[in-house]
Chains A and B, each alone.
Chain A
Amino acid sequence: MSGFTVNQPGLLSLLHDRGRYGVHNLGLTTGGPLDSLAFDWANRLLGNDINATCLEISFGGLSLEAETETSFVITGAQAPCKLNGQSIPLWQTQDIQRGDKLEIGFTSAGTRCYLAVRGGFDIAPSFGSSSTVLREKIGGINGDKLQAGDHLPCSGNKLLAHCRLAEKDQPVYGDSARLRVVLGYQQAAFGPLQRWRFFSSEYRLSERCDRMGFRLEGETVHSDMVSMLSEGICHGAIQIPADGQPIVLMNDRQTIGGYPKIGAVIRMDTARLAQLSPGSRVNFEEISIEQAHNLHCLEQARFRRTPVQPC
C-alpha cells in the first residue's frame, strides 16, 4: 500500500478537507481546517484540488515514515521540520523517498501546521467530507485523531518542478491579533456601554480553547437577554454567556445553541485566532458587512495573484 506510516501521532493531528457542508440539518458540524489560508496554500503549492485532504497538526510532535515516493509541503506555524534528520524549510515543496522519515517538531510561532502530499491523502468521505470531528466520531480514520501505527494512504505522484512561497508572502504568526467583527444576532441586546467595553478591551486566550470554541478572558460584557430560544450558530459567532466572557465559536461548534451572540468574527481573522496560544492578546474591531465582503474579495484576489517561486 502506498502512503505513510505514523510513528508518532503528535498531540492532535487530524485529517481535513475544507469541511462538511449541507448536513447541519442532521446536527453535523462543519469541521475543516482552522487556518484555511495555510491549508489552501499547502494544496496550491502542490497543484492539488482545493479540497484535497491534508493533515492539520496542532502543536506539532508528528513523525511519519514514507512507504512511497511522493512530493509534499508543510505550511502554517513555525516548527522545526526534518527529513531524515536534515532541517527542511516550510512553504516549499519537496520530494520524499520510500523509507524516509519526516518529523515535525513542536510549534514555536503559531500552533497549526498543515502537511499536504501531492494528490492529497486518500480518505473516504463520510457525509461528503473527509474532515475529522472527534466529538462526532466522523471523518478521517475511524473518526479519530492520528494514532501511532496508522496508515495514511496516498498515491505516489511526484511533482516535475518544485516551488515555494516567498518569505515576504508568508503569514507571520505572533502572540496577538485584532479580530474584525460583523455585528449580528442579539447585538441590539448589548447596550452602548457594553459594546464599548467589548470593543475597547483587551482579552487573553484562556487555556480552554479547542476546535469547538476559543474562550477569552478579560472585561465582562453583559446583554439584556434573560433567556432565549436555541438557534443556529454560524462560524466565528461570538457567544457571551452569563459569566460575561466571550467565546469565539470555531469549526467544530455545535450547530445550535441558546446563548446571546454579539456578532461574528470574519473567517480570515478566525484563521489568525486559531494560530494563537493560550495567554495571547486579542481585541475586537467592528466592521460593516460591506467591509467584510471587500476584505474577503481582496484576500481571495491576493491568494490567486501571489505568484509561487520556482526553486
Chain B
Amino acid sequence: MRIEIAGQNAFIVYFAEQTSAAVSAQIQAAVSSILATMQDSIVDLVPSYASLLVIFDLDRSDHFAVRQKLRAALTDLDSVDAAAGELVTLPVYYSIESGPDLEIIAERGNISVDEVIAIHQQQEYRVYAIGFAPGFAYLGEVDERIAAPRLATPRQKVPRGAVAIADRQTAVYPAVSPGGWNLIGLCPTRMFDPAADPSMPVRVGDRIRFSAINRDEFLAQGGEL
C-alpha cells in the first residue's frame, strides 16, 4: 500500500497494481475505517479499482495531520469489519431489439447470441467504481468469451438502462448519454434517481447479478423501448 500526494488537499492511496475482489474488499475496509475515524477532516472519498482518493478540508486540517491519521486508519485493515457488499439482482431484457451489439460479441467469441446472454448472467460481478456520470457503476470482470473492445466510433445516444460491455467491464447506463460500449440489453431499474432515497440501487463493493426478463416483463417494470 502506498500513500501519495494527489493535490494540495488530497491524497491517493494505492492498494495494488491490479484490481481483484480481495483488493476491492480491502478498499471497502479502508473506506469504513476512514469514515469512522476521520469524519471531521474528510470532505470526499473516491474508491476505484485499486485506489482510494481522500479529499480533505484545507480549512479544518492539513496534509501532515491527514497523512498521519490516514496511516493509522489504514493499519490492520484485515480486522476492520467492512460491509461485505450486498447482493443486488438487476433484471435485463436481452434481445437484438434491446442489445444491438449482441451479434458482434457472439461473432467475436465464436459463440451464439444465446450463449452470450447465458454467460453474462452466470456470475456475480463486483462494483469496482462509480463515476464517469452520476450513477455509472463499473462492474467487473466479465468472462473473456464475451469481452469486447469499445466501439471505434462511439454512439451519439445510448438509451437509459442500456446494459453494456467494454473490455472486461460491464455497466448499466444511468441516463441517456453518448457512449462507446457494446450494448447487449436493457435494464428497467433506475441506476440513478435524484428523487429516490437512496438515489442509487448499488454502492462500490456490492455484488451484482443479472437476470433475464422478457419484453413484457421489461415493459411492466417501467422499461421503455
Contacts and interface: CB of A to CB of B under 8 A. Distances in A.
A185 B4 contact: yes
B210 interface: no
A231 B51 contact: yes
Interface string B121-155: 00000000111111110100000000000000000
Contacts of A22: 43-44
B52 A232 contact: yes
B195 to A, nearest CB: 9
Contacts of A172: none
A26 B192 contact: yes
A264 B8 CA distance: 7
B47 A236 contact: no
Contact of A26 (B10, B47, B49, B200): B200
B16 to A, nearest CB: 9
B12 interface: yes
Contacts of A25: 44-47, 130, 203-204
Nearest to B169: A230
B40 interface: no
B34 interface: no
B88 interface: no
Interface stretch (A93-101, A102-110, A151-159, A288-296): A288-296
A210 B62 CA distance: 30
Interface residues of A, number: 42
A270 B198 CA distance: 33
A69 to B, nearest CB: 34
A199 interface: no
B57 to A, nearest CB: 9
A219 to B, nearest CB: 22
Nearest to A269: B8
Contacts of B119: none
Contacts of B194: 126-127, 138
Contact of A184 (B4, B49, B200): B4
Interface in A156-172: none
A231 B49 contact: yes
B5 A256 contact: no
A226 interface: no
Given A25-B44, A185-B5, 13 more contacts: A21-B44, A26-B135, A135-B133, A230-B131, A232-B52, A232-B53, A234-B9, A236-B8, A254-B131, A261-B6, A264-B6, A264-B10, A293-B62
Interface of A: 21-28, 30, 126-127, 135-136, 138, 182-185, 229-237, 254-257, 261, 263-267, 289, 292-293, 296, 300
